[in-house]
Structure 1
Amino acid sequence: MKTFPFIYNEPKEFLKFLQPKDWANFFLGEINPRFSVTAIKAKVVAVKEETADTKTIVLKPNWLWKGFQSGQHVPVTVEIAGRRITRFYSLSSHPSDSNLQITVKRQKGGLVSNFINQNIKKGDILELGEASGDFVFSKEIPKQLLFLAGGSGITPIHSLLKDLEKSNYTGKVTLLYFVRSYEDIILKSSLEKIKSNVKWLNIVYVFSDVPKEGYESGFLTKEILEKYNPDLKSTSVYVCGPSPMQTKALSLLEGVKVKSELFLLPSQNVSNVKKEGTVDVFLTLSHKTIQVKGEKSLLEELEEQGIYPQSGCRMGICHTCVCKKQTGSVTDLSNGEVSELGEENIQICVTRAESSLELEL
């Protein structure tokens, strides 16, 4: 708890200390960790193991939660080694469920995904933001749907399937789910339960690494698309999975109505480059000058020097890390474009320094 400031040089500092919302949050938190007047806090009511490297976290949010649409994602904030870190996860539950669900797969080098899988337990409190995203159904749901899921990309699609189930959908749906092996199928029991409850769903598991008798194997191809959904021109397609799978899907589905959800930058744009020397980055709000190599994103290079700006998704989706570039040139890692030298807002998680910079940080 803060100590009372008997003497302040500036009256505004004293007034800043007496923020009623901060005090209310403190006292409410002492009564119940979920209580807050400003933050969406959610209690972990269950942790379910889906696969060896994936867990479903069941959450009960406080009264500030405004709900979501099937297919949307939510910012989740955890504290790791004294740092508050936010990542975005798709909601795998349905809006009408009594509790929320996020299903988190460990990612190689993924700080938050590994922390959640290793440490989060029943009774813990997580902080959420508001749900967002347009990987959702339109008002009029198409009569023929094809879902292409890869790995943990099944999570928003699972929510969409539950939405169809609860709305008494009468069309036709095919799910092609690409995973490494049978043991890597995420949310399998729930998917099979949905399938058993409806007549319109066909689920096809495709194993890329470990073939299994009676199942498809390999990767996404034109042949497998046409085998299970020959009438692609009359089908609405939803794609969620790793970048290579999505790139392949979009090339195969040219001229078809496709909606995609990508939580990774295209690999060709984020590969590190090797540069000689460094460039200066002047942080105008903190009056610091640091040197970066311009080989990684600005966010990564700042963090390597102990500077932790606000950030969220780290892939150009949430815009939490937006700051003003006052001078200098950067490369946008999402499309490879090099900026002009003048003032503009940039997302530091998906930009790389090309010259000396002044940033409003």
Structure 2
Amino acid sequence: MKTFPFIYNQPKEFLNFLQPKEWADFFLGELNPRFSVTTTKAKVIDIKEETADAKTFVLKPNWLWKGFLSGQHVPVTVEIAGRRVTRFYSLSSHPNEKYLQITVKRQKGGLVSNFLNQNTKKGDVLDLGEASGEFVLSKELPKELLLLAGGSGITPIHSILKDLQALNYNGKVTLLYFVRSVDDIILKSSIDLIEKNNQWLTVQYILSDVPKEGFVSGFLTKEILDQYVPNLKSTSVYVCGPSPMQTKALSLLEGLPVKSELFLLPGQNLTNVKKEGTVDVYLSLSHKTIQVKGERSILDELEEQGIYPQSGCRMGICHTCVCKKQAGAVTDLSNGEKSQLGEENIQICVSRAESNLELEL
């Protein structure tokens, strides 16, 4: 809680202290952790074990929650070691369900995914932002759909399947779900139930690492697509999974209508390089100058030195980490393009320093 200010250098500082919404949030939070006038808070009312390293968190949000569309993701903020950290997770439930669900798979080096799986329990309260994302069904549903999922990329696709079920879809849907082993299939019981109750859905689990009798083994190939989707040229495609799978899928599906949502592991798909020496990064709001190697994203290299700017998805989607570059050059790791030296807004999670920089941080 704030302490009463005895000395303020500027009237504005005193007025900032007397922010009624912040005081209201404090007192409401004492009554009920979900109560807030500024923040969407959600109570964890149930936790479901999906696999050895994935859990579904059932959430009851407060009245500030604005809803979502199937396939969208939501920023989730938790406090870890005294600092607030935000990551984006797809909603695995349907918008019409009473409670929200996010399904989180633990990732090696994943700060928030590991924290949620290890530490979160029933009764805890998470902070949510607004749902967003374009990985949603079009208003005019196609007659044939191919859904390609890899690993935890099944979560938004699971929500889309529930949406198709709620819409009484009468076309044809093929889901090809690529996982390492049977034990890694996330949301399997729910997917199997949707398939059982809807003739329009065909599900094929494809195991990449640990074969098992009764299951197909292998990786995404032209042969796999030809086998399960003979009318591929007249099919709309949704792809969600890790970078290697998506790269392969987009090359095989070139020329077809494809929507994709990239699921990155920490550090994945951000091209790292080896450089000699360091470059200076001046943080104009903090009045600090630090040295970075310019080998990884600016966000990674700042965090390595104990500086934690706002961030979210860490893959260039959510724009939470956008800041103004006032001088210097960066490389956009999402497309390899090098910037001009002048002023512009950049996403520091997918930007690498190429020269001395001045950032509005």
TM-score tier by shorter-chain length is over 0.9
Counterpart secondary structure, 2:156: helix
**Whole-Å Cα distance in 2 between the matches of residues 80 and 117 of structure 1?**
13
Aligned residue type for 2:287:
H
2:61 alignment counterpart: 61
Q: Deviations over 1:285-340 (max 9, x none)?
A: 11111111111111111111111111111111111111111111111111111111
Distance in 2 separating the partners of 1:279 and 1:266: 24
* CA 1:286–1:309: 2 relative to 1, 3 Å: same
Deviations 1:151-191 (A, max 9, x none): 11100000000011111111111101110111111000100
CA shift in 2, pair 1:84/1:266, >3 Å: closer
Please list every run of 5 or more consecutive structure 2 residues that lacks an aligned counterpart in the other structure.
none
> Could you say if the C-alpha distance between residues 235 and 140 of structure 1 is closer, same or farther in structure 2, counting changes exceeding 3 Å?
same
Q: TM-score, normalised by structure 1?
A: 0.98
Runs of 4+ in structure 1 over 3 Å off: 265-269
Quote how far apart the aligned CAs of 1:214 are. Answer: 1.6
Paired residue secondary structure (1:66): coil
What is the DSSP-based 3-state SS (H/G/I as helix, E as strand, rest coil) of the residue aligned with 1:127? Answer: strand
The letter for the 1-side match of 2:228 is Y
Shift of 1:12: 1.2
CA spacing shift, 1:334–1:256, aligned 2, 3 Å: same
Q: 1:266 and 1:116, CA in 2 relative to 1: closer, same or farther beyond 3 A?
A: closer
Tell me: CA distance 1:268–1:74, structure 2 relative to 1, closer, same or farther (3 Å).
closer
Q: CA deviation at 1:346?
A: 0.6
- CA shift for structure 1 position 90: 0.4
Give the corresponding residue for 1:212.
Answer: 212
Report the equivalent of 1:32. Answer: 32
Aligned residues: percent identity?
A: 81
3-state SS of paired residue (1:41): strand
Q: Partners in 1 of 2:360 and 2:7 — Cα distance?
A: 31
Q: Residue 226 of structure 2: SS of its match in structure 1?
A: helix
Any conservation in 2 of the 1:266–1:334 contact (CA below 8 Å)?
Answer: no
Q: One-letter code of the match for 2:321?
A: C
Alpha-carbon distance in structure 1 between the residues aligned to 2:8 and 2:269: 50
Is residue 81 of structure 1 aligned with residue 81 of structure 2? Answer: yes
Please give the alpha-carbon distance, in whole angstroms, between the structure 2 residues aligned to 1:305 and 1:6: 34
How many corresponding residue pairs? Answer: 361
Q: Match for 1:132: what amino acid?
A: S
Name the SS for the 1:270 alignment partner: coil
Measured against aligned partners, the alpha-carbon deviations of 1:25-77 in whole angstroms (never above 9, x if no partner) come to: 00000000000001000000000000000000000000000000000000000
Residue aligning to 1:272: 272
Query: What residue in structure 2 maps to residue 353 of structure 1?
Result: 353
**Partner in structure 1 of residue 262 of structure 2:** 262
| Distance in 1 separating the partners of 2:82 and 2:265 | 28
Instruction: Please tell me whether residue 121 in structure 1 is matched to residue 121 in structure 2.
Output: yes
User: For residue 127 of structure 1, what is the amino acid of its counterpart?
Assistant: D
Q: CA deviation at 1:10?
A: 1.6
Distance 1:174 1:28 in 2: 48
Q: Please give the alpha-carbon distance, in whole angstroms, between the structure 1 residues aligned to 2:231 and 2:247.
A: 21
Q: How does 1:311-350 map to 2 (within 5 A)?
A: 311-350=311-350
Describe the SS at the equivalent of 2:78.
strand
1:91 corresponding residue in structure 2:
91
What TM-score does the superposition give when structure 2 sets the normalisation length?
A: 0.98
Deviation at 1:267, TM superposition (A): 7.8
Contact 2:29 2:35 in 1 (8 A): yes
Q: Distance in 1 between matches of 2:11 and 2:183?
A: 62
**Structure 1 residue 270, shift from structure 2 partner:** 1.6
Aligned to 2:304: 304
CA displacement at 1:265 relative to structure 2? 8.4
How far the C-alpha of 1:268 sits from its partner, in A, is 8.2
Shift of 1:119: 0.6
The aligned counterpart of 1:15 is: 15
Instruction: Report how far residue 81 of structure 1 moved.
Output: 0.1
- CA 1:60–1:269: 2 relative to 1, 3 Å: closer
Amino acid at match of 1:56: T
Post-superposition offset of 1:255: 1.7
1:212-246 deviations in whole A, cap 9, x for unaligned?
Answer: 11211000011111111100111001100111111
